[in-house]
A and B are shown apart, each in its own frame.
Chain A
Amino acid sequence: MENSTVEKEYIGDEELELGLGLSLGNASGEKGAAAYGNGGRILTAKDFPNGFACGTKRERAQKSASSSDPAALRQVVGWPPIRSYRMNSLLSQAKASNVAGEDDESSKKKMNHGGHLGFVKVNMDGLPIGRKLDLNAHKTYQTLAKALEEMFFSPSPHSRGGKEQTVKLLDGSSEFVLTYEDKEGDWMLVGDVPWGMFLNTVKRLRIMRTSEANGLAPKSQERNEKQKSKLI
């Protein structure tokens, strides 16, 4: 029996948002922009380096992905044909395996490098459908905020009369703030604790209207009331 402590960080709700096949989180942060710049789209023959018998024209397709970009596959809606709940479960396990390396035993531990199961759910007030974000792809609050700003506030190519907004989530200037639920079930403002500590304790994120964020205290202050934990 192993002596090492393998503590399960129960993330709670690995929800299944209705993204149209967008890859919500990349192994490396650099690909972030490319993945989020486009919606799910129809691929053209150019996207498949191995050739593809079909050579139809699709005027609607966006051609930003080059034929050698593996990210192209991520943008095909609903392919490979795996059910959403299973897809999320598999991707989470894949993240855990990749980070931990090849070793049989250590690759099973979801807690590694003082780290964290990569994907967390992100909700925004006013939007019925949440998204998932891979926290392992970020090393600072700035990149995290930028990714979220792009995810939720940048105009999609297909939005009807898209509003251009540059929203800054961390500096208190916009009508939204970024908050997170920690291990104890409390909602905290993002940015108050060191990044590593944040990673260890964050369960999920919420982009909250500033007006609703009253009463959220940074961790350093004393709190009298703890929010009800999710355990019923």
Chain B
Amino acid sequence: MDQDHKKLKESSFPCEVLEKVLSFIDSHKDRSSASLVCKDWYDAERWTRSNLFIGNCYSVSPEIVARRFPKIKSVRLKGKPRFSDFNLLPQNWGANVHAWLVMFAKVYPSLEELRLKRMTVSDESLDLLARSFPGFKALSLSSCDGFTDEGLKAIATHCSFRLLGLVQMIIYQNLTELDIADSVTEDIGGGWLSCFPESFTSLEILNCASLQCEVSFDALERLVSRCKALRVLQVNESINLEQLQRLLVQVPHLTRLGTGSFMQELTVRQYKDLQTAFSNCKNLQALSGLWDATSVYLPFVYGACASLTFLNLSEANLRSGELAKLLPHCTSLRRLWVIDTVGDKGLEAVGSSCPLLEELRVFPLDPYDLDNQQGVTEAGFLAVSRGCPNLKYVLYFCRKMTNDAVVTIVQNCPDFTHFRLCIMNPGEPDHLTNEPMDEAFGAVTKTCTKLRRLSVSGLLTDKAFEYIGKFAKNLETLSVAFAGSSDRGMQCVLEGCPKLRKLEIRDCLFGNAALLSGLDKYETMRSLWMSACNLTIKGCKLLAKEMPRLNVEVIQDEWSDETHANKVYVYRSVAGPRRDTPPFVLTL
């Protein structure tokens, strides 16, 4: 009877049923877990996975991916380590998407979406993309480099496919100057906009806010007028207010708008037209752009603010008064980005006007101005925490902070998942007590049990890292700079923090002992970055020897010599060592 019962169980789950069930699972983490259950589940999972997420393009190879997953429709691929955003990675380091695209063209001809972050994408790659996937719908290039107008023209021209969303580009480098042949090549111009054929009407998302050049307004206006489904439009600074009004009247149903520059003198008529245009935008959830916005013209956006959940003022250096007048109109606001010109006073207005706020980012107007007493302090942060108990995400650049303030802040807002505090002067202590900022981050990790991402700053001893290791049970990403008093600091983190995935460290005194204390940890993590620390080539070689499934790479630069390893990047990989390392990257 028992034997029959068992047999029934084994055969009661035909793989078609299993595949059907698994096809409902979207999260790649859940799918990975499912694939580990047994061989049947592994097979069922691989046949039903359609969304591919690769957090580190070097952790796996295109060949391995192609063998495992036969039916991919959308891909998210990330390349360079995050500190490349801050110029810590030399040019031509890698993360070139081309080899991936060649594989996708061969194995996934029905690919629909491609989202790349921190990858190098050449015009040739964009051209290949444009020609290889007849059903292609959405392209997103975040912090990517390597392409010019030509690549974008290829995408625009060959979109006989139904392109729904195009290019959320956040270009952070001057791409034409990476073209070594001729230093007078034109920048990414707006020319590619004109390459969309007249028959092309399916665009839903257009974001070219980061383009640094003038865009053909005619082409843009024609494009906007025929794409009736457009819901996201973010133009660049070259579009003025009058042009903005003409665009807005075509697409009042926008959900996300990025304006151009406010630097224009308007007639009364024009002002009223803009006011009307904005009032007709009843569905606006996100507003950005706003270059040079002043109290003179800002009020005409008020009519669109009631439905706003995201307001990005990081290009408009507003003063506290201007912010205080604007915020009461934004009754649904959940995310706010500002420049620190609003001051602590402006942040008080945030606290009193935005009870639903979940995310706050405060950028410094003048990051290098150490003498200047302007900007925000702990007072502003405190004010926000008092009025916004739902705060979950904060990025705060300041020059002064105190331990007590942070302790109070996290008591007011215990639900932080992302806490990124940047006290801009390296090694800055509590400005009232002159003590290290250890207790601040101790409070953050103790009180905010849901904390997933933490960036620390200020004067920190090993104690801060003891706290982090001990209390930050859900921490996944930790960023450290100019901190710690001995190897023990890093050791505490590596021995604690059970969910740590990314650790990035710069300018700390951690040495080989610290590095090697994480031997058992690194394979459970995505990556480790250490730059300007006390590592030697010998230490890195030892790590590489002990852990053959880790890639231990040393990046040589002008501060390296035969012993000192100035920039070290360690990551797990099933693909083995990179085959495309430039001469300055040493794989140990």
**Residues of A bordering B, CB below 8 Å:** 1-2, 5-6, 8, 10, 12-21, 23, 39, 41-43, 48, 50-56, 60, 70, 73-74, 76-87, 89-91, 93-94, 97-98, 104-105, 108, 110, 123-130, 158, 206, 230-232
Given contacts A2-B296, A128-B180, contact A104 B319 (CB under 8 A): yes
Closest B residue by C-beta to A75? B368
Whether the pair A39, B558 counts as a contact (CB closer than 8 A) is yes
Q: Which of B276-321 contact A (CB under 8 A)?
A: 292, 294-296, 314-315, 317, 319, 321
Say whether A2 contacts B173, CB under 8 Å. Answer: no
Write the nearest CB–CB distance from A156 to chain B, whole angstroms: 9
| B8 CB–A CB distance under 8 Å | no
Q: Could you say which residues of chain A place their CB within 8 Å of the CB of B364?
A: 80, 82, 90
Question: Across the interface, do A124 and B263 meet the contact criterion of CB distance under 8 Å?
Answer: no
List of B residues within 8 angstroms of A50 by Cβ: 425, 427-429, 459
Q: Does B485 contact A (CB under 8 A)?
A: yes
Determine if B174 and A130 form an interchain contact, defined as CB atoms under 8 angstroms apart.
yes
Which residues of the other chain, B, contact A127 by a CB distance below 8 angstroms?
177, 183
* Residues of chain B contacted by A77 (CB below 8 angstroms): 86-88
Q: Which residues of B contact A (CB under 8 A)?
A: 83, 85-88, 91, 143, 170-174, 177-180, 183-184, 186-187, 189-191, 194, 210, 212-216, 219, 237-238, 240, 261, 263-266, 268, 271, 292, 294-296, 314-315, 317, 319, 321-322, 339, 341, 363-371, 397, 422, 424-429, 436, 455, 459-461, 479, 481-485, 506-509, 532, 534, 558-559, 561, 564, 566
Q: Which 6 A-B pairs have the closest CB atoms?
A: A78-B86, A52-B427, A15-B174, A94-B366, A8-B263, A158-B558
A97→B183 contact, CB < 8 A: no
* A113 CA to B88 CA, complexed, in Å: 38
- From B181, which residue of chain A is reached at the shortest CB distance? A128
B368 touches which of A17, A55, A70, A97 (Cβ 8 Å):
A70
Residue in A1, A53, A98, A206 whose beta carbon sits within 8 Å of that of B271 in the complex: A1
Decide if A230 touches B482 in the complex (CB within 8 Å). no
The answer to whether A13 and B187 have CB atoms under 8 Å apart is: yes
Min Cβ gap A69→B in Å is 10
Is A123 a contact partner of B184 (Cβ separation < 8 A)?
Answer: yes
Q: Which of chain A's residues have a CB closer than 8 A to the CB of B459? A: 50-53
One of A60, A78, A123, A230 near B213 (C-beta < 8 A): A230
Task: Kindly identify which residue among A17, A84, A104 contacts B177, using a CB–CB cutoff of 8 Å.
Answer: A17
Distance of A121 from chain B, by nearest CB (Å): 8
Contacts of A158 in B (CB 8 A): 558
A83→B172 contact, CB < 8 A: yes
Count, A-B residue pairs, CB within 8 A: 217
Q: A162 to nearest B CB, angstroms?
A: 12
| Chain A residues closer than 8 Å to B369, beta-carbon distance | 70, 94
Q: Is the CB of B426 within 8 A of A43?
A: yes
B266 surroundings in chain A (CB, below 8 A): 1
Determine the distance from Cα of A43 to Cα of B314 in the docked complex, in whole angstroms.
30
Q: How far is the CA of A93 from the CA of B459 in the complex (A)?
A: 30
Q: Say whether A54 contacts B509, CB under 8 Å.
A: yes
Indicate if the CB atoms of A129 and B174 lie closer than 8 Å. Answer: yes
Distance in Å: Cβ of A92 to nearest Cβ of chain B: 10
| A70–B174 CB distance below 8 A | no
User: B189's contact among A17, A82, A89, A230, by CB below 8 Å, is which?
Assistant: A230
Chain B residues with Cβ below 8 Å from A128 are: 177-180, 183
A42-B532, A78-B83 as given contacts; A12 in contact with B213, CB under 8 Å: yes
Chain B residue at smallest Cβ distance from A126: B183
Bound form: Cα–Cα A4–B428 in Å: 44
Which single residue of chain A is at the shortest CB-CB distance from B319?
A: A104
Q: A21-B87, A83-B143, A126-B183 are in contact. List 11 more A-B contacts (CB 8 A).
A: A12-B214, A13-B213, A43-B426, A52-B459, A73-B426, A79-B481, A84-B85, A94-B369, A110-B292, A232-B191, A232-B194
Contacts A52-B459, A73-B368, A81-B481 hold; do A15 and B187 have CB atoms under 8 A apart? yes
A13 to B238 CA separation, bound complex (whole angstroms): 10
